[in-house]
């Protein structure tokens, strides 16, 4: 694998085509099924465009429910099964997750209604960009780093207003195959967006997103969206995969104290995401006091299996 160029604002994972499954490595469905999934997915994207037009006039709760249902339906259309482990957040929180694929956005929205923080380029994606904008996505222009404080303030304002906000603090996608091939485990969490949680006094909920082939029982990079790869090519690989499964593991919330160091908070959340399988089960505190940042609480509750397979 090539060396990893990385800077704080425009990171690059170094993941490339070597990280993707070799021909025949992942079981595939027949061409007719692939075509059906593509048509179903296109239909859900068109439905998403209609939803984008309705969201501004829907009550907040109804709009959030509609977005969650749309995300689940779209994942199902592409033949993806969703499994959720752990307790879902029921109030405002900064949701932070590792980043593997464009499917991550659907996985997060299917689990919890949240405003997303996404790169500006997503706004230009056909139909998806319209839905994202209507759902209140905060778009980040990575070519203008001086705008970062403005973005952080917008996220903090959303948290103060009682909204959940989801961000991928690695800043780019990593192959992270959960044991498939020789993949990097993921990148470091950049601390900027964690300042929004500190300023708003909101908890941080780490989410680990992983992909596996239920047909082989092993992790897979079939869903990965890497480097210079086109979105269409990644979509074609996803619809071809048989029994593709995405698991969202919800770790316990980290409660930053007033004036907490956002860098320590980012490191704690990063460890909770990347080390979920190895962490002990620790009950959350009953006193309601802030959790010390080095304490990584990762209760793995019973899996909630939401069958989204086509």
Q: Which residues of 20-40 are buried (b: 16+ CB within 10 A; e: fewer)?
A: bbeeeebbbbeeeebebbbeb
Q: Which two tokens stand for residue 107?
A: 């996985």
Give the Å distances, CA to CA, from 72 to 11, 16, 68, 197, 297: 30, 29, 6, 27, 28
Report yes or no on 138 lying in a domain: yes
With respect to residue 242, please indicate whether it lies within any of the assigned structural domains. yes
Per the model's pLDDT, the better-predicted residue between 167 and 282 turns out to be: 167
Residue 159 placed within a domain:
yes
Q: Alpha-carbon distance 158 to 114, whole Å?
A: 10
For the chain, what is the domain count? 1
Residue 230 has pLDDT above 90, yes or no: no
Q: Which domain holds residue 219?
A: 17-277+296-306
Q: Please indicate, yes or no, if residue 149 is contained in any of the structural domains.
A: yes
* Separation of CA 151 from chain center: 18
Name the band, by pLDDT with cuts 50, 70 and 90, for residue 159: very high
For range 28-44, the mean pLDDT? 96
pTM, to two decimals: 0.81
pLDDT of amino acid 7: 43
Using the 8-state DSSP alphabet, how is residue 149 labeled?
H
pLDDT at residue 34 in the model: 97
The C-alpha R_g of the chain, in whole angstroms, comes to 18
- 189: in domain: yes
Per-residue pLDDT at 206: 95
Residue 200 counted as domain residue: yes
CA distance 111 to 107: 6
162 in any annotated domain: yes
- Asked whether residue 229 is assigned to any structural domain, the reply reads yes
CATH number reported for the structural domain that contains residue 240 in this entry: 3.40.1130
User: Residues 167-195: pLDDT tens digits?
Assistant: 999 877 766 544 444 455 566 888 999 99
Share of the chain above pLDDT 70, in %: 78
First to last CA, the chain: 35
């Amino acid at each position: 694998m090539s060396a990893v160029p990385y800077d704080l604002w425009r990171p690059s994972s170094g993941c490339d085509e070597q990280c993707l499954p070799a021909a025949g490595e992942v079981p595939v469905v027949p061409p007719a099924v692939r075509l059906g999934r593509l048509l179903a997915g296109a239909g859900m994207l068109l439905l998403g465009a209609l939803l984008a037009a309705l969201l501004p006039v829907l009550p907040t709760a109804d709009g959030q429910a509609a977005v969650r249902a749309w995300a689940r339906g779209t994942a199902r259309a592409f033949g993806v099964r969703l499994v959720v482990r752990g307790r879902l957040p029921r109030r405002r929180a900064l949701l932070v997750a590792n980043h593997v694929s464009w499917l991550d956005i659907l996985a997060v929205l299917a689990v919890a209604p949240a405003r997303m923080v996404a790169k500006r380029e997503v706004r230009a994606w056909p139909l998806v960009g319209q839905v994202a904008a209507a759902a209140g996505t905060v778009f980040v222009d990575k070519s203008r780093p001086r705008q970062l404080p403005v973005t952080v303030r917008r996220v903090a304002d959303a948290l103060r207003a009682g909204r959940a906000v989801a961000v991928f603090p690695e800043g780019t996608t990593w192959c992270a195959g959960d044991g498939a091939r020789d993949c990097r485990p993921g990148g470091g969490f950049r601390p900027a967006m964690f300042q929004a949680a500190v300023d708003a006094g909101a908890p941080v909920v780490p989410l680990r997103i992983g992909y596996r082939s239920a047909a082989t029982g092993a992790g897979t990079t079939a869903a990965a969206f890497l480097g210079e790869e086109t979105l269409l090519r990644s979509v074609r690989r996803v619809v071809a995969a048989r029994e593709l499964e995405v698991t969202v593991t919800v770790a316990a919330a980290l409660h930053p104290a007033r004036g907490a160091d956002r860098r320590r908070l980012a490191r704690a959340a990063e460890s909770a995401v990347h080390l979920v399988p190895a962490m002990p089960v620790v009950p959350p505190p009953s006193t309601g006091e802030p959790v010390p940042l080095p304490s990584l609480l990762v209760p793995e509750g019973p899996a909630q299996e939401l069958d989204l397979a086509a």
